Amino acid sequence: MVTPAVSNPAPSLLDRLVLPTSGAWANDARKGALARFREMGFPGRRDEYWRFAGGDDFAAPEPEEAPILDMQGEAPVFTGLERLKFSFRDGRFEGTMPDLPEGLEVSRLADAGQADLHWARDLYGVLEAAGQSPVARPFAALNTAFAPDGLLIRITGKVALPLNLIYCHDDPRSDAMLHHVLRLEPGAELTLLENGPAAARLNTVLEVDVAEGACFHHVRTQGRDHGRRAVTHVFARLGQESVFKSFTLTVNGTHTRNETVIEFAGEGGVAHVAGAAMGDGRMGSFIHDDTVFITHGAPGCESRQVYKKVLLNGAVGIFQGKILVREGAQKTDGYQKSQALLLDEDSTFLAKPELEIYADDVACSHGSTSGGIDEEALFYLRSRGVPAAEAQDLLVLAFLSDAMDEIEDAAITEDITSRLEAWLARRRG
Amino acid sequence: MLEIKGLKVKLEAEDKEILKGVDLEVPAGAVHAIMGPNGSGKSTLSYVLAGREGYEVTAGSATLDGQDLLDMAPEERAAAGLFLAFQYPVEIPGVGNMTFLRTAVNSQRKLRGEEELSAAEFLKLVRTEARKLRIDADMLKRPVNVGFSGGEKKRNEILQMAMLQPKMCILDETDSGLDVDAMKLVAEGVNGLRDAGRSFLVITHYQRLLDHIKPDVVHIMAAGRIVRTGGPELALEVEHNGYGDILSEVA
């Protein structure tokens, strides 16, 4: 099949990308992904799940420049936590691996991909490929084909310390692709933290296989690097009685699209996904897109989506969330909430909540709202002596707290909340 | 303390005059009550004094210790010592009651150029005051007024008053929605705050609250004006005869 992107004589990102040299297993996976991508092509505005913002930011042959973020002496998030640190600069692992506790195996894709055989063969690009149906995710296939680096992580026990992937970039035009694979063996437990500005343009895939009885927590912050363009993908497969929780905080960014694709493959699984995004279009465009697809393929599973966006000065928030309940997935409990707080009349929230249900004994609900600040609450706070700007920020934090509360670890919630408070206070000046 | 002269106010949205020339003076240390039938403008008066949007002052003035209230933002009025106990306290999901109290106390201190209270000082103060009003730790932890009963909401208003130590307290129908026990508790809280430097303006429909919070002066408000002023016996008169007699007298 010839895609418009290929038939178009204009330069394409595809011409610029080079398949990394790989050993047998990775080579097969990459070639398969490239074939998948060629079938799909780059998305256009006519594609149902790209009609709000388009994919040009991620498909352009060269990324737009993104200034390096000046942290102004502020310590990065998670600094106060004891954790295992893995650093990436401009999309490449750097430094040395920390000493790993028992129950944890970590290798670099850049190294392990050279081998003839690796355990990740059963997952790398496999969960991504499964997640391409019924909705195509072309940038994820592109990532599987071309991502030069990432971590392959196998967890066989309960790992007490969180793993922290810390990103930074030095090159204002860096164009990074990272592909991480996690395999939680039965009964294993892990917390994964991600933070830092990874690149001017970023495309990530995180494939997570949570085996029966295993438990995975994920907390991610997408920071204040305003020029960022990022398309991220999480593909998760959940075994029987497993738990998957993922929270993302997003502040600024020119265009961020976070895709989450979850499939319940065993009974009694639990998946909670949440996002809090705050966008101020004052410094340029802000588009934030949460696209979620949860497939209940087994009975008795619980899914919960909580997405909150605070938008001002022409910021655009997008939510595309779907719950698909397959035939036989009885006793499904699906919940979806997407809300936007519009702080002015210039901002836009576009929401597309979807339920598709083929079982007859399920409880599924969704709610999507957008509205302004509660004037009654604002006056109440001001009448108690809280200045208007501070009162508004307090209400903004209150609005986001529903999503923050989805974070399992109270210390992390507090850390992230205090970051947001500081960010809001700095904006007030 | 509080001086209102010829205050005329209309609703911005409807171009409708609600207050048609209110004159009222509450001296330091005094407790004044305003009674009146529904729609007489009592609540409007309290909102205008607190600085709520949606009202336009077309004439007159309101000052607190000589400072022009009407020219100040709501938070500045609060910092200057004005406090309105709401008839319908607002629920704020996501903001913990404790955070709310601490933010309010410290915001006012900051606006007045005073030092903020330390966490320990604040905690000690809030525990002492909460205990008097039988507000337990759970109510302090919960989001502001969310899931509070009518009585709990009103007690929470008095707790804020006790924490903020205003000099001019306006109570807007604080008795509405309260049973006798809750009303006693609220009244005890208010009476505990009475002193020579603090004044109260108690707005109510009924005389019963005034059994517990004894006023020095009672005003009757009707159709946007104070139509009669007298001693506590005026409240009893209303209780026995209703507003009809008074209103026909002044009509």
> How is A232-264 classified by DSSP, letter by letter?
EEEEEEE-TT-EEEEEEEEE--SEEEEEEEEEE
Model confidence at A1, pLDDT cuts 50, 70, 90, reads: very low
SS3 content of chain A, % helix, strand, coil (to 5): 25, 40, 40
Question: Which of A375, A386, A395 is opposite residue B75, by nearest beta carbon?
Answer: A386
Residues of chain B contacting A424 with CB distance shorter than 8 Å: none
Q: Å from B37 to nearest chain A CA?
A: 25
Which residues are within 8 A (CB) of A125 and not within 5 positions of it... i.e. 6 or more apart? A29, A30, A32, A33, A144, A207
Report pLDDT for A10. 67
The chain-wide mean pLDDT, for chain A, equals 93
CA distances, B177 to each of A79, A123, B135 (Å): 49, 62, 18
Domains of chain B by residue range: 2-95+166-250
Which residue, among A382, A399, A400, A404, would best test binding to B if mutated, counting the most B CBs under 10 Å from its CB?
A: A382
In this structure, what token pair is assigned to residue B209?
Answer: 């609250």
Q: What is the C-alpha to C-alpha distance for residues A247 and A191, in angstroms, rounded to an integer?
A: 11
CA distances, A7 to each of A11, A34, A143, B8, B237 (Å): 11, 17, 21, 74, 92
- A211-257 per-position pLDDT tens digit: 999 999 999 999 778 899 999 999 999 999 999 999 999 998 999 99
A376·B90 Cβ contact <8 A: yes
Report pLDDT for A207. 98
The chain-wide mean pLDDT, for chain B, equals 92
B171 touches chain A (CB under 8 A): no
B100·A376 Cβ contact <8 A: no
H-only helix segments in A102-257: 109-112, 126-130, 138-146
Q: What is the C-alpha to C-alpha distance for residues B117 and B105, in angstroms, rounded to an integer?
A: 8
Where is B46: in which H helix or E strand? helix B42-50
> Can the peptide bond before residue A134 be classed as cis, meaning omega within 30 degrees of 0?
yes
Model confidence at A356, pLDDT cuts 50, 70, 90, reads: very high
Residue A179 is classified by DSSP as E
A382·B95 Cβ contact <8 A: no
Q: What is the C-alpha to C-alpha distance for residues A36 and A132, in angstroms, rounded to an integer?
A: 9
- A277-331 per-position pLDDT tens digit: 999 998 889 999 999 999 999 999 999 999 999 999 999 999 999 999 999 999 9
Q: Is A282 a domain residue?
A: yes
Question: Which of B91, B104, B143 is opposite residue A384, by nearest beta carbon?
Answer: B104
Phi, psi of A426 (to 5 degrees): -65, -35
- B202-251 per-position pLDDT tens digit: 999 888 888 889 999 999 999 999 999 999 998 888 888 888 777 777 65
ipTM: 0.96
Q: Which domain holds residue A127?
A: 4-372
Closest CA to A194 of A267, A250, A256: A250
Fold category of B2-95+166-250 in CATH = Rossmann fold (3.40.50)
Contact A423, A396 (CB under 8 A): no
Q: Is A386 a domain residue?
A: no
Report pLDDT for A2. 44
Q: Which amino acid is at A387?
A: P
How do beta strands A229-238 and A255-264 pair?
parallel
Report pLDDT for A398. 95
- Residue percentage of chain B with pLDDT more than 70: 99
- The pLDDT of A253-271, averaged and rounded, is 97
DSSP codes, A96-114:
-PPPPPTTEEEEEHHHHTT
Please provide the size of chain A in residues: 429
Residues of chain B contacting A385 with CB distance shorter than 8 Å: 75, 78-79, 104-105, 107-108, 111, 164
Contact A362, A325 (CB under 8 A): yes
pLDDT surpassing 60 at residue A161: yes
Residues of chain B contacting A393 with CB distance shorter than 8 Å: none
Which residues are within 8 A (CB) of A316 and not within 5 positions of it... i.e. 6 or more apart? A52, A53, A279, A281, A285, A286, A287, A288, A347, A348, A349, A350
Q: Which amino acid is at B124?
A: K
Report pLDDT for B251. 59
Report pLDDT for B246. 77
- The pLDDT of A36-44, averaged and rounded, is 94
Report pLDDT for B175. 87
Contact B166, B83 (CB under 8 A): yes
B78·A384 Cβ contact <8 A: yes
Model confidence at B77, pLDDT cuts 50, 70, 90, reads: very high
pLDDT surpassing 90 at residue A124: yes
Phi, psi of A5 (to 5 degrees): -60, -35
Q: Determine the distance from the C-alpha atom of residue B12 to the mean position of all C-alpha atoms in its chain, rounded to a whole number.
A: 23
- B79-120 per-position pLDDT tens digit: 999 999 999 999 999 999 999 999 999 999 999 899 999 999
- Residue percentage of chain B with pLDDT more than 90: 75
Q: Is A21 a domain residue?
A: yes
Q: What is the C-alpha to C-alpha distance for residues A226 and A255, in angstroms, rounded to an integer?
A: 9
Domain count, chain A: 1
